[in-house]
Structure 1
Amino acid sequence: MHLPPPDPARSPRTGYTRAHWEAAADALLAAVEPYATGDYALYHFPGSRESWSGRLSDGLEGYARTLLLAAFRRDETALERYANGLAAGVCDVWPRIEDRSQPLVEAASIALALRLTRPLLWDRLDDGVRQRAAAWLGDALTAEPWPCNWELFPVTVGGFLESTGHQPEASRKAIDRGLERIEQWYVGDGWYTDGAGRAFDYYNGWAMHLYPVLHAWLADDPDLLTLYGGRLEAHLADYARLFGGDGAPMHQGRSLTYRFATTAPLWLGALTGHTPLTSGETRRLASGALKYFLERDAVDERGLLTLGWHGPDGSVLQGYSGPASPYWASKGFLGLLLPPEHEVWTAQEEAGPVERKNAVTPFSAPNWLLQSTSSDGLVRLHNHGSEDVRYDPYYTRFAYSTITRPLDSPPDNAVVVGGDPRREGIVPLGVGEGWAASRHALSSGAEVISLVVADGAVEVRAHLVAGAAPGTEVQVTGWPPVEHEDEHGHEARTLRADLVPVYGLTGAAALSGVLGEVRDGPATLFVALARLTAEPDPLPLPELVSVEAQRMVSDKTQGAFDLSVRWRTGSESHFRFTASDERSATWSWSVKPR
């Protein structure tokens, strides 16, 4: 991919300007054209992998997701090809939109693209083509979506069809129904769960906010835009902290192969005027993410986006991931809807949150604690409130970062009780200044109460194991050590992962873990110090923090522990883990600041 020379005056941190985004979009669009069928209705990219929806659906996905890129680019030559493909596709080439089928997802991309480019594409079609296209899209209005972000796909299709006068009653019903359904998943502070449960990830930005805000903006509905725009603005205050100093997004959640689609909500805030970020900060974060992936093999020698994170990588894929799936990254080019003279393109880049100062930031809605250090640009996410409906290491680990990825064996950032590393049924117990806590159950019936306290790059991790048999082995693992080679022209650096036992544990290996065993009594406390840093010569952990744990025994609090944390800076924090017998068959476990 050939990009313009960097512009250090306007973009002193990334060198990227609007011209770089335009060049990247043009290159991606040019690269996919040879893989279109003769009628341009389907795009079949090379590779042996098919999604579970099959080759025909995957070909539709290739059309829909690259059309979205052409729409953001306003490329009239490309849009003419997509107009031809639309005319062919709705003549019994594309699969029908049925309940919980992948074409429902792609119909939303097509409808959004048509709505954004109506004078350039839709209005130039023959009336017969428009009628057939509206009929094909119309099935999305009544198709049953999966109960998650899919509820917004009929909303997006309905918004377009209503704007053209097609099926107005059915369109309005689909819009109202979808927007009403997502209300049950809004948990405050700009955060949604992606359906029932507590699945918090990037779908907040590239789906749960993107579709309602764009619908409100395109419909010119001030009340809706105030509602959904206000939520987006609140979300971006947290979201901006999820990017590392090198531009990397947090490596957490599913569908990570969409890569720089993570930038879509940043641009959306600027587009609609609902953002707490300055223009220079918005562009710095967005351009940083695009540059991060383009410089790390996201695009192969044919100019195609690969299925993976850097290069091809099956570990970040799901069953629905097909050859064209990465092109949801097209959402990252939303900023091209802003004209060249907009301040987001003309302002000088400003530092992102991780670059300005060290910070430990609580996110109350997902019950996360974000820990960032300006000296090495690393961001760490301490997860005490997010999980998927199934056991998934991209949701259930205690910690993630912008530079590491979950490992399987041994599992990183886990507590393993009696050989069981699974963390299911996560219950948030609170989050505050410098700390977060949660509880989870094990298949054996035991429970683990967990607390993290953080400052700078240092973490205190405490786990109270209750209900396990005496003698049960407990293993606490830390960050995976990762060596970064200078293979992309970047400065080589080595991450240091430390794990030091403090209470109830022995050993000193971060990934293989520190070990202990459950003792007699209702609960056993295990405490370790942890650190992930790229600083070359950090001080030993015991010189940065001291921890004292004391068991408290009384008639009402059998198995309670007091935990005191004293930092080298002089600040202190104190917590109490409590197991209270309420004269019933159950125990009540909690951890609170004191």
Structure 2
Amino acid sequence: MKKSTSLTCLLFSLFALSLSGASFAFEQPGSKLEKSNSREYWVSVLIKISDPVLRNLSKAQLRTNMPVVCKEPNRKNVAHLEAFGRTLAGIAPWLELGADQTKEGKLRAEYISMTRKALSVSVDPSSPDFLNFSSKNGQQPLVDAAFLAQGLLRGYTQLWEPLDQQTKDNVVNALKSSRSIKPGQNNWLLFSATIEAFLIKSGNGGNIEPIVYALNKHADWYKGDATYGDGPDFHWDYYNSFVIQPMMLDIVKVLKDKQMDSTISYDKVLKRAQRYAVIQERLISPEGTFPPVGRSLVYRYGAFQVLSQVALLNKLPEEISPAQVRSALSLVIYRLTEAPGTFDTKGWLNAGFYGNQPGLAEYYITTGSLYLCTVGLLPLGLPANDSFWTSPAKDWTSKKVWKGVDLPADHAYTD
């Protein structure tokens, strides 16, 4: 049942008061908090995060203007590809909707053009912002070449197909240069596989062998109840969502479309992702928080990529409605975006989970790494008239349970 505006604000205020130091404890009706459960707010967040990366790169000024903070000096060489590849993976579904005459559609037109230009600059060997894709810059370029390829898969008709042939050739050459990097026996296998999947889809000589190998290994590493090991071992972290299941979904979709999905079916990968999405929705507390467990917490709401991607695909299981997923994610996005210190004075992301917390950043984290948070915004690839956006706000699972609502028991998934 839809709550009144006053009751909704009262509930938000009550849970906010229970959180020490919460900056939005006394937000009033009409405030940003109240408006955060909306497509307009999500778009504003995506633009706030993405604009510095895309605008500067499109002008060949990313190296000049992006601050690079990292614990290991040699990581500075890869930070710019990190920022662009990860931003592309998150913004691509929204751009894929194309331009139209609405206010948002005109904004998309601007960013489609800007992103195409950024792509051209990033792979042009003569550009001062030509990015690092090959092994001469260590192992990391493989990771972010893969995120760039994932972005091209997700924004294929707007970001890839309209490119001029020279830029396409440069993109292919850049991606293929990452083949000199040997991935580790863990989620990194999917980076090679994602690049090859894009090359197969685009008809540019993709190799099926790394894909088959990666999928077979992950089938071996499956631990049950929709969870894969990161390699042979299980890890308490969010890498099933940062990398593993989203990349498997995108890879196997290419294979399905090409009638090549003999290693593991798209249906099986999707069903596991759907169960993982159910788990992720249950992890979001009534207050819009979630457990700060495992490495790479500075990717913020990128931790919910699986839930966001399943929503984008319109494949949410019956037990979690689009409205409750939007409501839960909106509060998470609001809390982490609006936390003091999330951005520096020029609008670049600071390392942190809730605000500026550089101690949470592992040795491999750079400023560029932080832009993986954009993959938590994938449902923006759904049109504005989709029920995900138009349905009234709705309580999510943990909020219902902690109100005393009686729900069906949760059970593990088996296949």
Question: Where on the TM-score scale, by shorter chain, does this alignment land: which range?
Answer: 0.7 to 0.9
CA 1:62–1:236: 2 relative to 1, 3 Å: closer
1:81 deviation in Å? Answer: 3.2
Partner SS state of residue 119, structure 1? helix
In the alignment, is residue 161 of structure 1 matched against residue 204 of structure 2?
A: no
Structure-2 residue corresponding to 1:147? 185
Counterpart check, 1:267 vs 2:267: no
Whichever residue aligns with residue 77 of structure 1, its letter is E
Equivalent residue in structure 2 for 1:286, among 304, 329, 332: 329
Letter in 2 for 1:284: S
How big is the shift at 1:218? 5.3
For residue 201 of structure 1, report the CA deviation from its aligned partner.
Answer: 1.5
What is the deviation of 1:346?
Answer: 1.4
Q: Give the alignment partner of residue 198 of structure 1, picking from 203, 220, 234.
A: 234
CA contact (8 A) 2:326 2:389 kept: yes
**TM-score, scaled relative to structure 2:** 0.77
Partners of 1:18 and 1:342 lie apart in 2 by 11
Match of 2:161 in 1: 123
Q: Comparing both structures, which one devotes a greater share of its residues to strand?
A: 1
Cα deviation for residue 27 of structure 1 reads: 2.2
User: Would the alpha carbon gap of residues 362 and 122 (structure 1) be closer, same or farther in structure 2, given more than 3 Å must change?
Assistant: closer
Is residue 94 from structure 1 mapped to residue 131 from structure 2 by the alignment?
A: yes
Q: 1:306 aligns with which of 350, 354, 358?
A: 350
Counterpart CA distance in 1 for 2:124 and 2:55 is 22
Which letter maps to 2:281? A
Give, in angstroms, the shift of residue 262 of structure 1.
2.2
The verdict on how the C-alpha distance between 1:50 and 1:8 changes in structure 2, with shifts beyond 3 A counting, is farther
Describe the shift of the 1:152–1:25 C-alpha distance in structure 2 as closer, same or farther (beyond 3 A).
same
Q: Within 2, Cα distance between the matches of 1:220 and 1:43? A: 42
The question of whether the paired residues in 2 share the 8 Å contact of 1:41 and 1:89 is answered with no
SS in 2 for 1:124: coil
Task: Give the corresponding residue for 2:51.
Answer: 30
Query: Match for residue 351 of structure 1?
Result: 395
Go from structure 1 to structure 2 and tell me whether the alpha carbon gap of 1:342 and 1:48 turns closer, same or farther (over 3 Å shift): closer
Q: Answer whether contact 2:69 2:366 (CA < 8 A) is retained.
A: no
CA distance in 2, matches of 1:210, 1:33: 23
The share of aligned pairs that are identical, in percent, is 23
Quote the offset at 1:152 in angstroms.
1.1
The equivalences for 1:386-397 within 5 A come to none
SS at match of 2:161: helix
In structure 1, stretches of 5+ residues that fail to align are 1-6, 366-594
Q: CA deviation at 1:280?
A: 1.4
Assess, with a 3 A threshold, how the Cα gap between structure 1 residues 119 and 364 changes in structure 2: closer, same or farther. closer
State the superposition RMSD in angstroms.
Answer: 3.0
Which structure is richer in relative contact order (CA contacts within 8 A, separation 6 or more)? 2
> Normalized per residue, which structure has more helix?
2
Task: Please give the per-residue CA displacement for 1:87-113, whole angstroms capped at 9, x wherever unaligned.
Answer: 333333322333971111111121122
Distance in 1, matches of 2:53 and 2:312, equals: 27
Q: 1:302 to 1:109 in 2, by over 3 A?
A: same
Aligned to 2:148: 110
Q: Give the gaps of 5 or more residues in structure 2.
A: 13-33, 96-107
Residue 174 of structure 1 corresponds to 210
Equivalent residue number for residue 17 of structure 1: 38
After superposition, give the CA deviation of every residue in 1:285-332 in whole Å (9 maximum; x if it has no partner): 211210111231223443322111122212211111001211000101
The 1-side partners of 2:167 and 2:220 are apart by 38
For residues 43 and 122 of structure 1, the distance between their equivalents in structure 2, rounded to whole angstroms, comes to 26
Structure 2 counterpart of 1:317, one-letter code? A
- Larger displacement relative to structure 2 (12-21 or 178-187): 12-21
Question: What is the DSSP-based 3-state SS (H/G/I as helix, E as strand, rest coil) of the residue aligned with 2:135?
Answer: coil
- The whole-number CA distance in structure 1 between the counterparts of 2:41 and 2:360 is 27
**How many angstroms apart in 1 are the aligned matches of 2:69 and 2:148?**
26
Q: Which moved more, 1:298-307 or 1:146-155?
A: 298-307
Q: Is the 8 A contact 1:42 1:85 kept in 2?
A: no
Spell out the pairing of 1:241-390 with structure 2 (5 A cutoff): 241-276=282-317, 277-297=320-340, 298-358=342-402
Q: Which residue in the other structure is 1:54 paired with?
A: 75
Contact 1:269–1:275 (CA<8 Å) still a contact in 2? yes
CA contact (8 A) 1:44 1:58 kept: no
- Distance across 2 between alignment mates of 1:179 and 1:52: 34
1:350 is displaced (CA, Å) by 1.9
1-structure distance, mates of 2:255, 2:193: 12
Summarize deviations over 1:217-276 as a string: whole Å, max 9, x none.
Answer: 455559632111110112223222211212112111111111111232122222234333
What TM-score comes out, normalization by structure 1 length? 0.55
The separation in 1 between residues aligned to 2:216 and 2:181, in whole angstroms, is 16
* SS of residue paired to 1:187: strand
Deviation string for 1:501-524 (max 9, x for gaps)? Answer: xxxxxxxxxxxxxxxxxxxxxxxx
Evaluate the alpha carbon distance shift between residue 239 and residue 116 of structure 1 in structure 2; reply closer, same or farther with a 3 A threshold: closer
Letter in 2 for 1:205: S
Report the Cα offset of residue 42 of structure 1.
Answer: 4.8
Conservation of the 8 A alpha-carbon contact between 1:79 and 1:120: yes
Is the alpha carbon distance of 1:234 and 1:121 closer, same or farther for their aligned partners in structure 2, counting shifts above 3 Å?
Answer: closer
Where 2:223 maps in the other structure, the secondary structure is: strand
- The residue aligned with 1:450 is none
CA distance in structure 1 between the partners assigned to 2:162 and 2:274 by the alignment:
36
Distance (Å, rounded) in 2 between the aligned partners of 1:254 and 1:246: 22
- Residue in 1 that maps onto 2:115: 82
| 8 Å CA contact 2:187, 2:243 repeated in 1 | yes
Q: Distance in 2 between matches of 1:146 and 1:52?
A: 22
Please name the residue that 2:101 is paired with.
Answer: none
Distance 1:83 1:295, change over 3 A: closer
